[in-house]
Structure 1
Amino acid sequence: MASLCFLVVALVLQPFHSAASPAGGAASPTVTLDNGTLIGIAFGGVNKFLGIPFAQPPVGDLRFRLPQPNNPYTGTHTVEAFGPSCPQQAVTLPIPETLAQDAVDFLVNTIYDAIFPDSEDCLTINVVLPASATPTSKLPVVAWIFGGGFELGGTSTYDGAVIVQRSIDIGQPVVYVSMNYRLSAFGFLASQEVKEEGVGNLGLQDQRQALRWIQKYISAFGGDPTKVTIWGESAGAISVSLHLLTNGGNTDGLFRAAFMQSGSPIPVGDISHGQPYYDDLVFRTGCNGTSDTLQCLRQVPYNTLKAAMDKSPSIFAYQSLVLAWLPRADGVFLTDIPQKLVQAGSVAAIPFITGDCDDEGTLFSLSTLNITTDEQVHDYMHAIYLPTASNDEINQLLDLYDDDIVDGSPFDTGDLNALTPQYKRLAAIQGDVVFQAPRRFFLQQRSGKQNTWSFLSKRLKALPALGSVHGSDILNVYGPGDMTDYLVRFATNLDPNGGSNLNWPKYTTASPNLLTFLDGLVPQTITPDTYRADGFTYLTQLSLQHPI
């Protein structure tokens, strides 16, 4: 099932700019790491240290290898600007002519307008902290992992000053950290060759190395290495969930809590399932016929490799959330498919929060508007998501997700938003299989074993055709919005509650409560996580039997 990487697609939103401005006349902040001095930038009530290398550049023979720790810092370095993003996969977003202007404007302003200068030398980390912090402050740390379908994105899109300033305002200051990680083929190359060399899931390994850097250095910025919360959206949230599963659930002391927006352990299969994409890359780079194709790919000129990667399907291609490049079971970082690791109890026993947007699948269904009949939906599900499933299994799925547009996504919009007779149906299936069903499965499996909370964002429901679209909940936290307070309090107290916000009850199978974010005069309410129960259960069953 496309389910895994797709969610990753995390909407790439335009940079969020803090209301603060560089502090005129203020001395530039400095921090000492090893024998080096880093010079940052004062920005209102916060200090920023941006673009700090946290690992050796993954270039030359280090391409397609595990990240190597950075050398000790020496000398003086100015770190006032974000480093380049890791290589981005070319993406074309399908915008149908029939899409209302409001929806077009939303997509253009959140995806097309985001520009990410990229480079293979990209493994940098950013730290934003209260200007008053000192090496003895021991503040909680929130470590942000951005989304983008494991294909695109970067840290420069998100302004951590928004989070830090809000934490100061509510009297619970935190340190904000964000890191780059390798993407697409550079970070998630998948094949038998990759498996045998033990170099799968390099993007996740980069994140893990960044978390080790935090343990070693965050105290110098005023952070407490024992109080790290990992947090992400879409691909970033999926990444967070997989850090909970790796290493038998042992965190190695790298973090103590997790916060996931639109991403849970996904039903991906063995890393060898990516063989066709690997073989195509090998062919397009001229490495076919060599005795060691992986070593050949390390030596291919960057532009040649990038051009070959860009020919692989993107997250907005016809196959949508069945991504070409995404995390898979590699025998090292993931010893089994994620949902089976959850069943086996290979989960870090720490507090976590996970939630979704109501209409996760709409964005990813714009590429399949040529599917207009029941037969075409059946053929699509069989060819793309469930190639090893029987016709009876697919028919049962389509009985649970019928063609009545009133039942489809955007949910609760009646007969509106039907771009085609099957659009809302496909949007419902894709959103549930990749995001909603895996989230509920994860929560149900961990009920009673650790403290968990869950949410549902139903904001922007009136956005034509898209509704409460994937990625829209980022506005709730980087806005700043009301989710920011819950995040900060969770990172500080391991409980999101406090202050004047609505009390957020824990999630258990006996009381599956969702903090639900709404538009209008009542911004939050508590609702039960019981909707589409038969569909979720069956999708999970299919995912376990037929992982992508």
Structure 2
Amino acid sequence: MYSLMSPAVLLGSLFFSFLAAANSSIPQVTLQGCGSFAGTNISKTLLGDNLPQPVNAWLGIDYAEQPVGDRRFRPLQSQPQSLKGVQNATKYRSVCLQDRIYPNPDEQDEACLNFNVFRTPGVPLSKKLPTLVWIHGGGFASFSGRDFDGASFVASSADPVVVVTFNYRLNAFGFLPSKLFEREGLLNLGLQDQRFFLQFLQKHLSSFGGDPRQITLGGLSAGAHSTAFHYFHNYGSDKNKPLFARGILQSGSATARSFPGPDYPRYKKDFAGLMKYINCSTDVDDKEQMGCLRSASAEKIREYSAKAYEDAKDQLNWPWQPSIGGPLIEKAGSKSEEEGTFHHLPIITTHTSDEGKYYTPGDLETNDDFIQFWHRISPGLNITDLALINELYPDPVAYPDSPWAGSSNSTQYNRISAAWSDMAYICMSRHTAVTTSRAGVPTWSLHFNTPDFPLVAQSWKGIPHASDAAYIWNDPHVAYPETARIYYRYINSFVLTGDPNKMRLDGTVEWPQYKAGENGNGYAKQLVVNPGNFTVVEEDRGRGRQCEFWNDPERAGRLYK
């Protein structure tokens, strides 16, 4: 499958050996009912560069009784049992089971639900600091909380701050959409892990000197989709009970890509394939099927999860995804947007210029190839839809003045990538900003337009999905470090104050709120992050007709948005 791995994240994942031993100067924390934990100092970035200042850290602390044995494929029920004595929280612990291509595969384990806390040093724990809680991406199938450089974010902060990262169940362990799981109430276990952890933080964040009333919840890609699912879940048991104060959606939304219900053909195939692979019969009652799933080899489940994911090329709906109808997505994101059932909290949405260029094939040459691609990956598109897509994205072969002419590898690549980008990310991010701003919510939109060719191996991929992954924590190894400093300080200011402007770098442009319909012409203003010191404010003149097509309420339903 086309890799979901951001090059910056891939590089960062290779370095986890820099941690120091427990240090007596690090405050010891006690979590009521869980135990006491001694932390460490971190002085290096994930890539081994010196931080501007050391950072206090507590690493690898469990936040729940682990979902192993009979607890596999069940919602989390309780925090871990209290441990006697002082525990060393001085190194990262296991990541969740996933494809073995993930660095350090020997560190994978089914017992993986742990978290990490990073904090500005020298500030008493009695002072409660604004906190960023980051949900990692990876297509709901891979990566971990390790991949966000929390220490770097803290060390560069304009004011004292806390960053928290964590793991949640992935692939089939956390997202096994099926009629069996629907009947058993077990859909979206990974999302439920996230909510459980946010509830856990409401009880325990203050022990680390964080302020549970000032949590910014954010994420990249699947982490942004996750953040959006929590943000757009102001109904049911979560109504008027937000577990955070503001949100950051870095290339993601509640309507991104596509999240069908458990009866979707792709999901039925994946479930049947998994059951066969682990020798579990589907011709028995639900209790016996669940018993077999819970007693099956974790390694076998991991193997099939990775194989099915790798085999799902050119698919709009990948295996092991959140499912509409399950917890936190009882109704589709587009429906929640339409009905206004979201937490009215300040929000930042972002997208890159060429989101789809990681995911689309680079060898299609004809208009028929283009049409067949969309027919194959999205059966919900009817003949009328396909004709409209053909019109909205003119064929560069037939129309040399098409905006998508001049692709360096195949005639259809830029065209397919633009349409995929709009469908999956750009138009969805824009619609989130329109929805929240029209509801009077402080909203800011960002367009990342900085190529990072040293990290993106092929320049023809432009500025694809996750190009800005490392910019958000001010990584010095990006192609444009000055751009990273600028971008980071806007985000840092938002985490600290709820406004990206109050603590932005001196001399940088003010980032205006996104206000749909302003200036009398419908164009709101967004921040455009260009290479070097050339970040500017521009009107959001994105592909308006194309976005109207993808965001049409009736069509959104057919596309499971």
TM-score interval for Structure 1 and Structure 2 normalised by the shorter chain: 0.7 to 0.9
Asked whether the 8 Å contact 2:259–2:317 carries over to 1, the reply is no
2:537 aligned residue: 526
The 3-state SS of whatever aligns with 2:445 is: strand
The SS at the match of 2:438 is: coil
Identity %, equivalent residues: 29
Does residue 364 of structure 1 match 2:375? no
CA deviation after TM superposition for structure 1 residue 87, in Å: 1.2
The C-alpha deviation readout for 1:345-380, integer Å capped at 9, x for no partner, is 111111110110111000111xx2343321122122
In structure 2, how many angstroms separate the alpha carbons of the residues matched to 1:21 and 1:68? 32
1:291 matched residue in structure 2? 285
Asked whether the equivalents of residues 6 and 467 of structure 2 are also in contact (C-alpha less than 8 Å), the reply is no
The CA distance in 2 between the partners of 1:121 and 1:407, in whole Å, is: 55
Partner of residue 59, structure 1: 68
Cα offset, 1:160, TM superposition: 0.8
Assess if the C-alpha contact under 8 Å between 1:6 and 1:322 holds in 2. no
Deviations 1:483-522 (A, max 9, x none): 22122211222111124232110001124111110014x4
Query: Equivalent of 1:241, from 228, 239, 259?
Result: 228
For the residue of structure 1 that corresponds to 2:461, the secondary structure is coil
Aligned position for 1:188: 175
The equivalent of 1:323 in structure 2 is 318
SS of structure 2 residue aligned to 1:13: helix
1:224 aligns with 2:211: yes
Cα distance in 2, alignment partners of residues 406 and 138 from structure 1: 61
Q: Distance in 1 between matches of 2:496 and 2:474?
A: 20
Tell me the SS of whatever aligns to 1:526: strand
Q: How does 1:95-244 map to 2 (within 5 A)?
A: 117-167=107-157, 170=158, 172-244=159-231
Correspondent of 2:525 among 510, 513, 526: 513
Structure 2 Cα separation of the partners of residues 428 and 479 of structure 1? 28
Aligned to 2:560: 547
Structure 1 residues 527 and 205, CA, compared in 2 at 3 Å: closer, same or farther?
same
Q: Which moved more, 1:298-307 or 1:268-277?
A: 268-277
- Which of 7, 24, 32 is the equivalent residue of 2:30? 32
Given that residues 63 and 79 in structure 2 are in contact (C-alpha distance below 8 angstroms), is that contact kept between their aligned partners in structure 1?
Answer: yes
What amino acid maps onto 2:165 in structure 1?
S
User: Which amino acid letter does the alignment assign opposite residue 369 of structure 2?
Assistant: Q
State the partner residue of 1:71.
80
Is 1:493 aligned to 2:497, yes or no? yes
**TM-score normalised by structure 2 residue count:** 0.85
What displacement does 1:113 show? 6.5
| Change in 2 beyond 3 A, CA 1:430/1:295 | farther
CA shift at 1:57, angstroms? 0.7
Asked which structure has the greater RCO (Cα within 8 Å, sep 6+), the reply is 1
- Alpha-carbon distance between aligned partners in 2 of 1:406 and 1:46, rounded to the nearest angstrom: 57
Q: Which residue number in structure 2 is paired with residue 107 of structure 1? A: none
Q: Is the 8 A contact 2:20 2:90 kept in 1?
A: no
2:381 aligned to which of 352, 374, 389: 389
Once residues 378 and 444 of structure 1 are traced to their aligned partners in structure 2, the CA distance between those partners, rounded to angstroms, is 30
Secondary structure at 2:156 match in 1? helix
Q: What count of residue pairs does the alignment treat as equivalent?
A: 512
Unmatched runs of 5 consecutive residues or more in structure 1: 92-111
Change (3 A) 1:229 1:407: farther
- Contact 1:10-1:234 within 8 A present in 2 as well: no
Q: Which residue of 2 aligns with 1:374?
A: 367
**Which residue in the other structure is 2:466 paired with?**
471
Q: Secondary structure at the match of 1:515?
A: strand
Q: Which consecutive unaligned segments of at least 5 residues does structure 2 have?
A: 44-53, 476-483, 519-523
- 1:287-311 CA deviation, whole Å, 9 max, x = no partner? 1233222332122111222222223
Alpha-carbon shift at residue 333 of structure 1 (Å) = 2.0
Computed over aligned residues only, the root mean square deviation of the Cα atoms, in angstroms, reads 2.8
- Measured after TM superposition, the shift of residue 73 of structure 1 is 2.9
**Matching residue of 1:43:** 42
Q: Which one-letter code corresponds to 2:129 in the other structure?
A: L
Q: 1:229 to 1:251 in 2, by over 3 A?
A: farther
